[in-house]
Structure 1
Amino acid sequence: MITGTIVKGIAGFYYVKAEDKIFECKARGKFRNVNLIPYIGDLVRIVPEENQVTGSIVEILPRKNLLIRPPVANIDQAIIVFAAKSPDPNLQLLDRFLVLVEEQNLDICICINKIDIDMEKDYEAIKDVYEKAGYKVIVTSTVSNTGIEEIKNELRNRTTVFAGPSGVGKSSLLNKVDPHLKLKTGDISQKVKRGKHTTRHVELLPFKEGGFVLDTPGFSSLSLENIAPNMLQNYFREFNTYRAYCKFSECSHIHEPQCMVKQKLDEGIIDKGRYERYKLIYNELESAKQRRW
């Protein structure tokens, strides 16, 4: 047996990098029996066949984390990419993704791409909101090379999931950061003003300056139903300083009196848009909880 990392999975085949080679592997049937699915990024033990090209996955080693969408394990950080324009930023979708990544306790960086086509510089207000919430925000343009070195520094020697909606320029951005990646890029659909999918599968790609990056398929919606409503507040960073000062220990920051989070909202310290999106997600999770009962 040898140990390696799953770098790609297509149609039931898993490509495992081990001992400076790539093995095309199938997972043993025992994983199906216990409902265990191999994920990109999994550290696995394989038994190579005599041809030293194919093999079988016989063990999946313990994971340090797991994202369901994009489906990937053992990640150090997430860089969440949205466009300043074309398509317009969907902040509800951004906040949902932040919740999912916060739940996995990953380092997070927000990237606002295509700033060269935002003539009104509306992205500056978005950048300010998320920086005040406690996130690192990098603004980028592949046209002017703005922010390219900053993204390169973030990627160096780390395993990073590079995710965001279709059409925001993830593949183009990665190609600019590391031309050796040679990722396929696409255009915006003029009919629906959304990106056309260019990344068809999740793949762990070696970054020239060290580390790995995953350019993931775009997404348009994210389900959070596995998160308990009372846990949601843990994943809104700007609430953390004030939660302990609420009158009620189980404060949802929605209905209760003497809520410090709502007080800071009234004072303008917590962003109203972020808070409204928190309420929307909270009520959605409560409804899902009631349906399960």
Structure 2
Amino acid sequence: MLEGIIIKGIGGFYYVKVGDRIYECRARGLFRKNKIIPLVGDRVLIKINKEDNTGYVEEIYDRTTELIRPPVANVNQAVIVFAVKKPDPNLWLLDRFLLLASYQGLDAIICINKSDLDVDGEIDNIYDIYKKAGYQIIKTSCTNRIGIDELKRQLKDKITVFAGPSGVGKSTLLNNIQSNLKLQTGEISQKTSRGKHTTRHVELIELDSGGWVVDTPGFSTLDIDFIKEDELIKYFIEVYDRSSLCRFSGCSHNKEPGCEVKKAVEEREISQSRYDNYLSMLQEVKDIRRY
């Protein structure tokens, strides 16, 4: 049997890359019986039919991670891409993406794209907010080739999912990292300043410099209804770290006296936007549990 990785799955067929070859495979009936669905990113053993070089997936190795939306296995990290302009950055949405990446057990890198459009210092404001929160941030511009090599180094030997709003330049970034990809890029709607979705199915793309990227719209749902009220704070790193100093162990960091989190916000050690987004999501989770 041969060992490979599933790079694409369409209509019950799984395309497995082994070395320089790709084999079209079906899954053994045993998987269906046990309700196991092979996923893009799975490391597998396949058995080849020598008559037509098709194969069967015989075994799936244990997964390190398993995303539901998009359905892909063994992802190591998420690159959350936002543009400094066109469309304007939405930090509430960025915090939601970061929360989901953390919940899925992925390392997160924030990529602030279209840095060449920054004329009012907005990129530095965003950088300072998330650097204080402990995130790794890369400033990029495909127009000026800024940060492209740094981003490429971060992708080496990893399986990476790109996420973020449409129109921020995810496909353009990948095309600049590896010019022969020729991924379809979307245009920004003049009426809404939103991008148009261009990626339709999940597929792994191998990079010449090492590693794989998931060609997908990223996290296709941003619901947080599965997160418990007392767990939410763990996904706001700087809020969680400071909360241990609060006077009351059950402090919700909203209206309680002696709250060290509120003090840190007042002293600008925690950004107001991150704090507001935490409270907003906390209320959302409470409302979900109430109903």
Do the aligned residues in 1 keep the contact of 2:162 with 2:217 (CA within 8 Å)? no
Per-residue deviation, 1:117? 2.2
Instruction: Give the letter for the 1:100 counterpart.
Output: L
Do the aligned residues in 2 keep the contact of 1:93 with 1:221 (CA within 8 Å)? no
Superposed counterparts of 1:202-241, under 5 Å: 202-217=202-217, 221-241=221-241
2:220 counterpart of 1:251: no
Per-residue deviation, 1:131? 0.9
2:75 counterpart of 1:79: no
Per-residue deviation, 1:141? 0.8
Which deviations, in whole Å up to 9, do the C-alpha atoms of 1:91-125 show, x marking residues without a partner? Answer: 22211110111123322210011122233232221
Paired residues in the alignment total 291
Which deviations, in whole Å up to 9, do the C-alpha atoms of 1:121-169 show, x marking residues without a partner? Answer: 3222111111111111111111111111111111122221122211111
Instruction: Give the letter for the 2:10 counterpart.
Output: I
Instruction: Give the letter for the 1:130 counterpart.
Output: Y
Residue 130 and residue 179 in structure 1: after superposition, are their counterparts in 2 closer, same or farther (change >3 A)? Answer: same
Partner of 2:119: 119
Which deviations, in whole Å up to 9, do the C-alpha atoms of 1:211-254 show, x marking residues without a partner? Answer: 11123225675111111121111111112331221233343323
Q: 2: distance between equivalents of 1:156 and 1:262?
A: 40
2:17 counterpart of 1:17: yes
TM-score (norm 2): 0.91
Matched residue of 2:89: which SS? coil
Do the aligned residues in 1 keep the contact of 2:15 with 2:25 (CA within 8 Å)? yes
Do the aligned residues in 2 keep the contact of 1:166 with 1:219 (CA within 8 Å)? no
Q: 2: distance between equivalents of 1:22 and 1:71?
A: 20
Partner of 2:199: 199
Matched residue of 1:276: which SS? helix
Partner of 2:147: 147
Instruction: Give the letter for the 1:120 counterpart.
Output: D
Q: Which runs of 5+ in 1 are unaligned?
A: none
Partner of 1:275: 275
Do the aligned residues in 2 keep the contact of 1:115 with 1:121 (CA within 8 Å)? no
Do the aligned residues in 1 keep the contact of 2:40 with 2:204 (CA within 8 Å)? yes
Residue 51 and residue 265 in structure 1: after superposition, are their counterparts in 2 closer, same or farther (change >3 A)? Answer: farther
Partner of 1:260: 260
Superposed counterparts of 1:142-181, under 5 Å: 142-181=142-181
Q: 1: distance between equivalents of 2:36 and 2:289?
A: 26
Instruction: Give the letter for the 2:83 counterpart.
Output: A
Superposed counterparts of 1:48-67, under 5 Å: 48-51=48-51, 53-67=53-67
Do the aligned residues in 2 keep the contact of 1:245 with 1:260 (CA within 8 Å)? yes
Q: Give the RMSD, CA atoms, in angstroms.
A: 2.1
Do the aligned residues in 1 keep the contact of 2:48 with 2:54 (CA within 8 Å)? yes
Do the aligned residues in 1 keep the contact of 2:239 with 2:275 (CA within 8 Å)? no
Q: 2: distance between equivalents of 1:15 and 1:210?
A: 20
Q: Please say which of residues 133-142 and 52-61 is displaced more in the overlay.
A: 52-61
Q: Which runs of 5+ in 2 are unaligned?
A: none
Residue 2 and residue 220 in structure 1: after superposition, are their counterparts in 2 closer, same or farther (change >3 A)? Answer: closer
Which deviations, in whole Å up to 9, do the C-alpha atoms of 1:170-208 show, x marking residues without a partner? Answer: 111111111122212221122322111222122111111
Instruction: Give the letter for the 1:188 counterpart.
Output: I
Residue 49 and residue 186 in structure 1: after superposition, are their counterparts in 2 closer, same or farther (change >3 A)? Answer: same
Partner of 1:132: 132
Q: Please say which of residues 66-75 and 218-227 is displaced more in the overlay.
A: 218-227
Q: 2: distance between equivalents of 1:34 and 1:288?
A: 33
Do the aligned residues in 2 keep the contact of 1:109 with 1:135 (CA within 8 Å)? yes
Q: Please say which of residues 208-217 and 4-13 is displaced more in the overlay.
A: 4-13
Residue 120 and residue 15 in structure 1: after superposition, are their counterparts in 2 closer, same or farther (change >3 A)? Answer: same
Residue 70 and residue 220 in structure 1: after superposition, are their counterparts in 2 closer, same or farther (change >3 A)? Answer: closer
Per-residue deviation, 1:32? 4.3
Q: 1: distance between equivalents of 2:194 and 2:39?
A: 28
Do the aligned residues in 1 keep the contact of 2:70 with 2:220 (CA within 8 Å)? no
Residue 56 and residue 255 in structure 1: after superposition, are their counterparts in 2 closer, same or farther (change >3 A)? Answer: farther
